[in-house]
Structure formats: C-alpha cells, structure tokens
Chains A and B, each alone.
Chain A
Amino acid sequence: MQQADRRDFLKLAGMAGVTFTAGLFPGRQAAAQAADFHFVQFSDTHWGYSGPANPDAEHTLEKAVATVNGLPKPPDFIVFTGDLTHTTDDGKERRARMKRFREIVGALSVKDVRFMPGEHDASLDKGEAFKEFFGATHYTFDHKGVHFIALDNVSDPAAKLGDEQLAWLAADLKQRKTDDRIVVFTHRPLFDLKPDWDWTTADGAKAIELLMPYTNVVVFYGHIHQENHHMTGHIAHHAAKSLIFPLPAPGSQPKRTPLPYDAAMPGLGTRDVNVADKVSFVELPVTKA
C-alpha cells in the first residue's frame, strides 16, 4: 500500500492508530484492477468470563460491536478468530454462552460474519456445540480475488490440525496458483511462538510447509491476547488483541497470567484489515475516543 493509500485507509477507518504494512503479499505484482476491500478481525472475546482481569467483561464486547458499527466505511465481512466464549465443563452452560454471544454480535450492522472456534469453545467437546451454533470449524471462501482459509487447531484438545485437515488443506492449495493471494485464519499460532506457554500448534509446521510454495500468504490468528508479528520465511503471522484481557509478551514474566486491568483498555481491541495488492491494518480500540 502506498503512503497516500494508507492515509486514505486511516481516514476511512476513522482512526489515527498504528498501521502495519510491511512484508505482506510480498510476491504480488501491482495489478491495477485488483479490488480494494477491508474486513474486521475480532478475537478472544471469551463471553462468559468473570473475574478481576476484566470487571467490564459483560459490556466490552458490546462496546467493540458499537465501535465497528461506527466505522465510516463498513467492512465487507467480519471474522472471529476463536475463543468466542470462555470455557465451562457444563455443556448446557456452554450453549447458553454461545447463544448469548450470538445475540450480542447479531447487533453488528455487517451481516457477513465468519466464526472460528478457540480451545475454550471446542476443545472439551471436540467442537460439537460450536458446530451447532456456528457451523464448520474449518472452511474456505473467496472474496474479491483473495482466497481465505480458516484452519481449526483447537477441536483436538492436543492442539493439532490432524492429518485429515492437513490433507484437506493440501488438496485446497493444489487448486491455487503459486502467486494467488491467500489469507489464513487460525486460532493458535501455527509456529512455535512460546512452546512452554503452549503458544504453538503441535503440527503447525506441517501447515506452514504446505503454504510455503505460495508467495502471497499472510496469517491472522488470536489466542495470545496481544499484537504479535512474526515471519516464517516470506509468510507473515499477525496475532490480534483480545476483547477480554491482555496477556504478557512472550517470556516477559514467569507466568502467562493476565495483565492488570486498565479501565482505558489499551491492550484490548479489534483489527481493521485492508486488502489490496498489499495488506495493511489498523488496530481499533474497544471504544472510539
């Protein structure tokens, strides 16, 4: 994205936030006819959480919905990259949380909304309740010339994609040209971000290996409750903030306990992603100032 385009995007997003543009779709040649669009990523809303890490937990998601509804230019679609709900052993309560979550996000003015599970949604029942409410746990779709792949690395409680899903991914990728624009969504990082904090996917390296021949791939994920930007070769991986509580930077403290609550919620938010020949994004606050 050129500087002028980036300023336009910030203006459209109505934000003066920090943008990230480097290294995305690096192999893509400029194409005048490429359609420009944007989508919003929500992650780790943990509906049903109650605790000191976020005394505002009952309202934070509603505030973020209102903020996204107030964007000057509505996004083409919205994606939730997992942990829609906070886990519970009680299947009935899990479904009640998913029902209430769906009601809250039903207030989004954009109606093209894609959902993915996190381990809090799906690991205790292998995605059974999630599928009842939100459909498949892994899928693809195409939008304005970009191929999107949603991977499920949480329905297996051991944090695996599994051989079956990897074969499905390989078959899907075989249909792509090597310079196609591909955006991958996952909940957990596909790479070993911090294995001793369980910030990894057991067989994520196999997915990265399958993606590696493709020159224009970018991955958006959640799980770690903070921004993080990492490259595996030419593939960029971007973690999103959560909407419940921020977690510490990898290895910055002995344990991965939530950061203390801050009423200004600087560590929470959503992300507005602009897609053209390159990708750029802006971090959106929970509540627009």
Chain B
Amino acid sequence: MRRRVMVALLVGSALGGAACLAAETPVEIRISAKKFEYHPNKVTAKLGQPVVFVLTSEDRIHGFKMPDFGLRTDIVPGQETRVTLTPDKAGSFTFFCDVFCGDGHEDMEGTLVVEA
C-alpha cells in the first residue's frame, strides 16, 4: 500500500513538472517578412501562454511593431530575430511594419489573435 502511494506521488510529481515545463516553454511563431507583407499574416496564441516570434526578412530591413503589447523590433535580412510575449489580454491585435519600405508600406500588417 505504501509503495502504491509512493508511485502515485512520483507520477503526480512528474506530470506536474511536465505541465509546469509546458507552461514555461514558449510556442514558436515563425513569420517571414518581405515587401509588403508578412507570411503568415494571421497568427494565434493563447491567453497567458508565452510565445516567441521568430522573425526573418526575405529582402530588406522591415519593422515589427505591436503597440498593444509594447513590442517592436527591426527584422534584418540574414538573421532570425526573436521576440517573446506572454499575452495578458484576449482579442485581435495588429502588428505592422514601422520601417518605411516603399509604396505599399502602409499596407504591410498582420493580426495576432489571442484566444481566451
């Protein structure tokens, strides 16, 4: 009987650790940028679950700005730019290029949907 309790405690502990690890490991969201679009331009995340945006550019420097979460970074060709976020509110939020890149720059945007 004592042995069964011990096993159950060990399994429970292991499961709890895995759950904790899952909660802390960011989900990768890969987004590629080029004039004048992001691909994909609609991505999803879950409320309270950390994500890391892995950003690349196919042509020139672009920006990635999401004012609702205070995020911004340059996306430089030839390298991966990583930005982490733990969404603390649900809804649809716009991200856009804030480094002027030509005729069509104003239309270069995408949406992050945070599900509750």
Interface residue tally on B, bucketed by range: 10 to 19
Contact A158 B98 (CB under 8 A): yes
Residue pair A87, B102 in contact (C-beta under 8 Å): yes
Cβ proximity bits B30-66 to A, threshold 8 Å, 1 near / 0 not: 0000000000000000000000000000000101010
Contact (Cβ within 8 A) A158 B103:
no
User: What is the distance, in angstroms, from A134's C-beta to the closest C-beta of chain B?
Assistant: 18
A158 touching B102 in the complex, CB below 8 Å, given contacts A196-B94, A196-B96, A198-B96: no
Does the CB pair B67–A158 fall under 8 Å? no
**Contacting B63 at CB < 8 Å: which of A88, A124, A158?**
A158
A142 at the interface (CB under 8 A from B): no
* Cβ A159 vs Cβ B103 within 8 A: no
Decide yes or no: A124 and B100 within 8 Å by CB, A196-B94, A256-B106 being known contacts.
yes
Interface size class of A (residues with CB under 8 A): 10 to 19
CA distance A124 to B74 in the complex (A): 16
A123 touches B94 (CB 8 A): no
* Chain B binding surface, main DSSP class: mixed
Q: Are A123 and B100 in contact (CB under 8 A)?
A: yes
Check B67–A196 contact: CB distance below 8 A.
yes
Judge if B76 is at the interface, Cβ distance under 8 Å. no
CA distance A70 to B107 in the complex (A): 38
* A89→B35 CA distance, assembly (Å): 11
Docked Cα-Cα span, A204 to B74, in Å, equals: 19
User: Contact at B98–A124, with CB atoms within 8 Å?
Assistant: no
Contacts A196-B67, A196-B68, A196-B94 given: A86-B103 contact, CB under 8 Å?
A: yes
B69 to chain A, nearest CB (A): 11
A87 touches B103 (CB 8 A): yes
**B98 and A198 contact, CB distance less than 8 A:** yes
**CB within 8 Å for A158 and B96 given contacts A195-B67, A196-B68, A256-B106:** no
The answer to whether the Cβ of A152 comes within 8 Å of any Cβ in the partner chain is: no
Determine the distance from Cα of A256 to Cα of B96 in the docked complex, in whole angstroms: 12
Please tell me if the beta carbons of B103 and A88 are within 8 angstroms of each other in the complex: yes
Is the CB of B99 closer than 8 A to any CB of chain A? Answer: yes
Complex contacts, B63 vs chain A, CB 8 Å: 158
Per-residue contact bits, chain A 151-167, to B (CB 8 Å; 1 contact, 0 not): 00010011100000000
The reply to whether the CB of A283 lies closer than 8 angstroms to some CB of chain B is no
B101 interface residue per 8 A CB criterion: yes
A277 at the interface (CB under 8 A from B): no
Bound-state CA distance A196–B105 (Å) is 13
15 contacts between A and B (CB under 8 A): A87-B100, A87-B103, A87-B105, A88-B102, A119-B100, A123-B100, A124-B102, A154-B100, A157-B99, A158-B63, A158-B99, A159-B98, A159-B100, A198-B96, A198-B98
Interface residue ranges, B against A (CB under 8 Å): 61, 63, 65, 67-68, 74, 94, 96, 98-103, 105-106
